[in-house]
Structure 1
Amino acid sequence: MDVQKYLARIGCSGPCLPTLETLRYVHLNHVLTVPFENLTIHIGERVKLELPLLYEKIVVRRRGGFCYENNGLFSWLLSQMGFDVTILSAQVRNRFTRAYGPPFDHFIMMVKLDGHRWLCDVGFGSGFQLPLSLETDSPQVQSHGAYRLRTQGNFIFMEMKSEPEVSGTGEECWTELYKFTLEARERDDFRAMCDYHQSSASSIFFCKSLCSLLLPTGRITIMGRRLIITSLSSDGQQATKTTTDLSDEEITEILREKFGIVLHSPLTPKDVEIVPPPVTY
C-alpha cells in the first residue's frame, strides 16, 4: 500500500505533515472524492475488511465504501502520516426506524493532536466535512451545516442542526445522528457488525442500495432507482432536494460520470422497507 498514491486518489498534493491543517485538508478531500456506497452488497459480493483489499478497492479501483471501509482505510492513512489515531465505535440512529443500532454499528476515529482531540468520520452518508473538536459542546459551523457534540451520561451524541418545526417554538432543533464513547477499539471488533449489515433486514445497507458523494454545493445520491440531488443555498443553511427515477442504464451512466464508478458485475438496485430491529439500544 502506497501513501502517496492514496493521497493522489483523494486529490491531495504537497508535503503533508501531521498538523491540523493537513488533517482538515485530507478529511475534506476524502469526503469530496471517495463515495459513501454499499454497491458491493448489491452486486452479489461480500465486503471484506483486510486493509490491502480496501486499498485495492478504494485507491486502485477508485470505488468507495461504507464506514468500515472508508474509515477503516482512512484511519490507516492517518496513522501512516504520523497522526495519533484511536478507533471508536458508534451507534447510528436510523432515520427510517428512529432506533439506534448496536455497538460497532459505525466505525469512527479520534485524532489527538497537540493536546486537542478531534472526531474524524469520512464514512457517513450525511456527515460533517471537517474534523469536529471533541473539546467543546458548542455548535461547530461548516459549509454544509452546523454540528455539535453533546455529552449525556456515558455517551457523546453527534448532532446536526435541522430546520425548526413549523408548529414549534422557533428554538434551535438538533437531530441526533449517532452516539459513541471514547473507548479504544480494534479493527477486528467490527467484523461481526459488518457481516450483519450485509444480511440483516434491519440494516439500511441490506435493504437499500446506496451511492452518495458530497459536492461543494450539496450532495448527489443514488438510492435504489432514485437520483437525489441536494443543493445548498449560498449561506449553506437552506437545502433543496430534487428526486428523479432512473432506469438501469441511467444508473450505470451516472455511476460512471458522477461517481467515477464502473462495476464489474450487474447491480441489482434495491430500496425496500427496513424492518425495525427486535432489540433497541
Structure 2
Amino acid sequence: MNLEAYLKRLNYKGATSASPDTLYKLHRAHVTSVPFENLDIHYKQWIELDSEKFYTKVVEQRRGGFCYELNGLLYEALQELGFQVYFISCSVYIQPLQKFGPYFAHVAIVVEDGKDQWLVDVGFGSSFPEPLKMEFGVIQKQDGVTYTLRKMNDTEISLDRSFDEGGTFEPMYKFTLVPRQLEDFQEMCAFHQTSEASPLYQKKLCSVATPNGRITLTSNHLIITKDGQRNEVEIKDEQDFQDKLFTYFAFDLPLQSKG
C-alpha cells in the first residue's frame, strides 16, 4: 500500500501517530470520502478478497466498495500506522425479518491499545462516523444517532442504535471478539455476489456520508439528506442511474447491469 496515496484518497491531512485522536479523525475522513457501494456485483465484476485489488479499486480508480473491501483496506492502513488491529465476524440484523442473518456476512475491526478497545467499521453502509469505544451499556452519541453496545451472552455482543435520542433501540449487528482472518469471509463474499437472498445482490447501492447528512443512490431512488431534511427523487432508467452516479459520486461505469 502507498499509505500517502491512501490518506490522500480519504482527504486526510491530520496526524499519523497511532493514537485514539488519529483513529477517530481517520474513521470520519473515510466514511465521508469513500462510498459504500455494491456496483461490481451488479455490473458482473467479481470481487476477490485481495487487499491489492481493494487498493486499486478504492485509491487508484477512486471507487468505493462493500465491507470486505473498505474494512479490509482500512485494516492494512491501520497496521502500517502502528495500530493493533484484528478482524471480527458480524451477523447483521435483518429489519424486515426481525432476526439476525448469518455470521461472516459482515466484517468489522477491533482496535486495541492495551487497556482500551474500539469497534471500527467504515463498511456498513450507514455506518457510525467515528469508532465506538468498547464499553457495555454506555450511550455513545454521534451526529444525532445514539449507539450502545450490549452483552447478549458470554460470547456475543449486540451493537444497537436509536434515531430518537435513545427512546427506541434496534440492533445493527451482533459479533464476537474472536479474531478472524480475511480469508475466513470467502464463502459469504461469494454469497453476496451470487445469491438473491443477499440484500447486496437485490439492488444497486452507492452511499456516502456528508458533513451534514448523506447521499444515497439506489436502483430506484436518489436520496439526499441535509441538516435533517430528506429529498428523494425517482430514478427513471439505467441511463438516469449512471448519470446521477457520475454527478454525485464521480463514478463513470458504462457497463451492463445484470438486470
Alignment TM-score, normalising by the size of structure 2:
0.94
1:157 corresponding residue in structure 2: 158
Work out the percentage of aligned pairs sharing the same amino acid. 36
Query: 3-state DSSP class of the match of 1:179?
Result: strand
Query: 3-state DSSP class of the match of 2:82?
Result: coil
CA deviations on 1:153-204 (whole Å, 9 max, x unpaired) are 131111111339xxxxxx8200111000100001100010000011111110
Query: How far apart, CA to CA, are the structure 1 residues paired with 2:141 and 2:164?
Result: 15
Query: How far apart, CA to CA, are the structure 2 residues paired with 1:44 and 1:90?
Result: 26
Query: Superposition pairs for residues 230-249 of structure 1, below 5 Å?
Result: 230-233=225-228, 240-247=229-236, 248-249=238-239
Q: CA deviation at 1:48?
A: 1.4
Query: How far apart, CA to CA, are the structure 1 residues paired with 2:19 and 2:193?
Result: 36
2:57 corresponding residue in structure 1: 57
Q: CA deviation at 1:21?
A: 0.7
1:273 corresponding residue in structure 2: none
2:25 corresponding residue in structure 1: 25
Query: Superposition pairs for residues 97-176 of structure 1, below 5 Å?
Result: 97-153=97-153, 154-163=155-164, 172-176=167-171
Determine which of 212, 216, 229 is the counterpart of 1:217.
Answer: 212
Q: CA deviation at 1:264?
A: 4.7
Query: 3-state DSSP class of the match of 2:73?
Result: helix
- Higher relative helix content: 2
Query: Superposition pairs for residues 191-202 of structure 1, below 5 Å?
Result: 191-202=186-197
Does the CA contact (< 8 Å) of 1:67 and 1:123 recur in 2?
A: yes
Does the CA contact (< 8 Å) of 1:128 and 1:142 recur in 2?
A: yes
CA deviations on 1:83-121 (whole Å, 9 max, x unpaired) are 000110000012333331111010001000251100000
Q: CA deviation at 1:218?
A: 1.2
Query: How far apart, CA to CA, are the structure 2 residues paired with 1:11 and 1:53?
Result: 21
Determine which of 181, 184, 187 is the counterpart of 2:179.
Answer: 184
Does the CA contact (< 8 Å) of 1:151 and 1:157 recur in 2?
A: yes
CA deviations on 1:110-160 (whole Å, 9 max, x unpaired) are 000251100000001122100000024211011141111111113111111
1:34 corresponding residue in structure 2: 34
1:81 corresponding residue in structure 2: 81
1:250 corresponding residue in structure 2: 240
Query: How far apart, CA to CA, are the structure 1 residues paired with 2:204 and 2:14?
Result: 36
Mind listing any 5+ residue stretches in structure 2 that lack a counterpart? none
Query: 3-state DSSP class of the match of 1:40?
Result: helix
1:167 corresponding residue in structure 2: none
Query: How far apart, CA to CA, are the structure 2 residues paired with 1:251 and 1:116?
Result: 44
Query: How far apart, CA to CA, are the structure 2 residues paired with 1:31 and 1:68?
Result: 15
Query: How far apart, CA to CA, are the structure 1 residues paired with 2:87 and 2:132?
Result: 15
Q: CA deviation at 1:14?
A: 4.6
Alignment TM-score, normalising by the size of structure 1:
0.87
- Which moves more between the two structures, 127-136 or 2-11? 127-136
Mind listing any 5+ residue stretches in structure 1 that lack a counterpart? 165-170, 234-239, 271-281
Letter in 1 for 2:79: S
1:263 corresponding residue in structure 2: 253
When the two structures are aligned, how many residues end up with a matched partner? 257
**RMSD (CA atoms):** 1.7
Query: How far apart, CA to CA, are the structure 2 residues paired with 1:22 and 1:113?
Result: 13
Does the CA contact (< 8 Å) of 1:51 and 1:73 recur in 2?
A: yes
Q: Does 1:204 align with 2:199?
A: yes
Does the CA contact (< 8 Å) of 2:85 and 2:111 recur in 1?
A: yes
Does the CA contact (< 8 Å) of 2:110 and 2:118 recur in 1?
A: yes
